[in-house]
Amino acid sequence: MCGIIGYVGTRDVVPVLIAGLKKLEYRGYDSAGIAVVNGNGVDVVRAEGKLFNLEAKLKEKPLKGTFGMGHTRWATHGKPNENNAHPHRDCTGKVVVIHNGIIENFLPLKQRLQKAGHEFKTETDTEVVAHLIEENLKSGKLKFVDAVRKTLKELEGHYALVMIDGTEPGTIVAAKQGPPLVIGLGENENIIASDVAPLLSYTRNIIYLEDGEYAVADQKSVRVFNQKDQPVERPPTRILWDAVMAEKEGYRHFMLKEIHEQPRAVRDTFNGRMFEESGQIYFNDLQFTPEEWSNIERVTWWPAGRRGTQAWSESSCSKRRRGFRSRSSTDRNIATATPSSTRTRSSSA
């Protein structure tokens, strides 16, 4: 569940992007990066791991500008490393894209673009979008926004996209088909993010993009369009939440929010470790050698509470098919490590 932020205005953009990404850390991520447009093009800095790694790199290579975007990535296509971290660029390095979601038809698009001479540097589906925009710009007949419009009509899947072109500084295009994307309307500045929390330091006037819509934002204005490229007139929503309430996304408390996020969390976890193009499954958190994997004879689940035990029970059929022996938290050796009250409760779960 990636985090997205884009900014155009008069402020020093790097602190805006880093502060915004910190408010999106709860979404989970394995790498981070920012892109800043300056007078000579687009500078990109990325880092594997947590945001403090990115901040350390920015101390070594400071970026300056008032226009840019940032991203925290949860891997879906390609290993979680610096090379696959967002933002991603086209062959020229001028078109830059960040993305949350999955481009389902990225493989045929990638193959088509490779035949046309495009060179890909990452394993991600996102990079396809940057190259597709570049391809649509090649004729010289289309401006950046028009090239993005044409590109969006070729994409299949669910996505939140933010796109910039270093040759047209000051213009951000954002598109939504599934994952959330919101726009904050400020004074001589506009800011785009995955949710409301990063926006509240700058504005309380918010536009929620709906599926199939895209927005063209600059320092002075935001224009929203539907799938037929028709303008959408939608008055902004005035947000009265504080920052903590914004992080709850309208739920009464964080526990309720987490309950409703469980299906998406499971999906994102699997998407981050199974790669369609190579057919491989990658466990970044489990640094086992092939020999160590082959020596595994049994997988032990330690579920907690009634729901955990139910999940263990429902999975037992799958485990038997794979030849695994499993045992629940009611096993004697686990129960004896817990207080007597917990042991009694677990035994009845």
- State percent of the chain over pLDDT 90: 46
Query: Could you tell me the pLDDT band of residue 297, with boundaries at 50, 70 and 90?
Result: confident
Q: What are the residue ranges spanned by the domains of the chain?
A: 3-247, 297-347
- Over residues 309-313, mean pLDDT: 56
- Over residues 245-269, mean pLDDT: 73
Q: Mean pLDDT, the chain, as a whole number?
A: 81
Alpha carbon distances (Å) from 282 to 76, 103, 275, 276 = 11, 19, 8, 11
- Over residues 216-240, mean pLDDT: 93
- Whole-structure pTM value: 0.72
Q: Which CATH architecture has domain 3-247?
A: 4-Layer Sandwich (3.60)
* Cα–Cα distance, 163 to 168 (Å, whole number): 11
Reply yes or no on whether the pLDDT at 185 is more than 90: yes
Reply yes or no on whether the pLDDT at 15 is more than 50: yes
Query: Could you tell me the pLDDT band of residue 321, with boundaries at 50, 70 and 90?
Result: very low
Confidence at residue 118, expressed as pLDDT on a 0 to 100 scale:
95
Sequential DSSP letters for 189-249: -EEEESSSGGGTTT-SEEEE--TTEEEEE-SS-EEEE-TTS-EE--PPEE----HHHHHTT
> Tens digit of pLDDT for each residue in 330-346?
333 333 333 333 333 33
- Over residues 110-118, mean pLDDT: 94
Reply yes or no on whether the pLDDT at 262 is more than 50: yes
Reply yes or no on whether the pLDDT at 329 is more than 70: no
